[in-house]
Amino acid sequence: MSLQLEEPRLVLASGSTARAAVLRAAGLAFEVVPASVDEAAAKQAAKAEGAPAGEAALMLATLKATAVARRRPESLVIGCDQILVRGETWFDKPADLPAARTQLLALRGAPHVLETAVVCHRHGAEIWRHLARPRLVMRDFSEAFLDAYLSAEGESVLTSVGAYRLESRGALLFERIEGEHAAILGLPLLSLLAFLRQHRVLMS
């Protein structure tokens, strides 16, 4: 027996394999339709306006959900975004392994926050939004460890805003983690499931 009702259909407006894996692990049926938006330009505009990183993440999640919802008006579209913040600095996915090394050295021995946004659209309107803020503290690892880590992980680190995958060897980088595991992976699952129950997408 399915715990998910047939309607409305769920659409994930993201090409993230980690987010899709989180939803599949929870037993949800959904379609993946990556949104085509200029994330770099939107993020740059948000910074220029002095927007906090969390507000920028919500804006980007909204842009993605809106873009896909135009094509799937009857579906419940889930848009997501995540921005890593250390102090006043925002980090993006590293372009290559040298950039990943530089980024991880900048994060070493210090806390950072993952501003993790999720927005849902249906029938041309936003119906829900949520912002999770997991806090992670990297340990003061050696450069020899870092080089070995990057060699072991390879280009998979380029798929993550933090240059780490917590579901893999990335856990070895950390001293302390505060927050929902799924939110660190890019999708605040428990809050989303609560909303889906309230919206009668899932059995309550």
More confident: 40 or 66: 66
CA geometry: angle 117, 118, 121, nearest 5 deg = 140
State the Cα–Cα distance between residues 56 and 45, nearest whole angstrom.
Answer: 9
pLDDT tens-digit series, residues 83-142: 999 999 999 899 999 999 999 999 999 999 999 999 999 998 999 999 999 999 999 999
Distance (Å, whole) CA 78 – CA 74 = 13
> Can you tell me which residue has the tokens 């950072």?
112
pTM over 0.85: yes
Q: Residues 92, 161: contact at Cβ < 8 Å?
A: yes
pLDDT computed for residue 119 by the predictor: 98
What domains can be seen in the chain, in order of their start residue? 10-198 (3.90.950.10)
Would you place residue 37 in the very low, low, confident or very high pLDDT band (cuts 50, 70, 90)?
Answer: confident
Query: Is 140 tagged catalytic?
Result: no
DSSP 8-state code for residue 158: G
Neighbours of 107 (CB within 10 A): 21
CB–CB of 132/61 below 8 Å? no
Q: Which among 187, 136, 180, 194 is positioned nearest to 162, based on CA atoms?
A: 136
Q: Identify the residue whose tokens are 């306006």.
A: 49
Q: What is the pLDDT of residues 145-204, one digit of tens each?
A: 999 999 999 999 999 999 999 888 999 999 999 999 999 999 999 999 999 999 999 998
List, for residues 21-31, the tens digit of each pLDDT value: 999 999 999 99
Cα 67 to Cα 50: distance, rounded to the nearest angstrom: 24
pLDDT band at residue 8 using 50, 70 and 90 as cut-offs: very high
Q: Residue 28, class by beta-carbon neighbours within 10 Å (0-12 exposed, 13-18 middle, 19+ buried)?
A: buried
> Of 38, 81, 92, 140, which one is the catalytic site residue?
81
> Residue 1: which pLDDT band, with cuts at 50, 70 and 90?
low
**Cα separation values, 88 from 41, 146, 170, Å:** 19, 24, 23
Q: Give 137-150 pLDDT, tens digit per residue.
A: 999 999 999 999 99
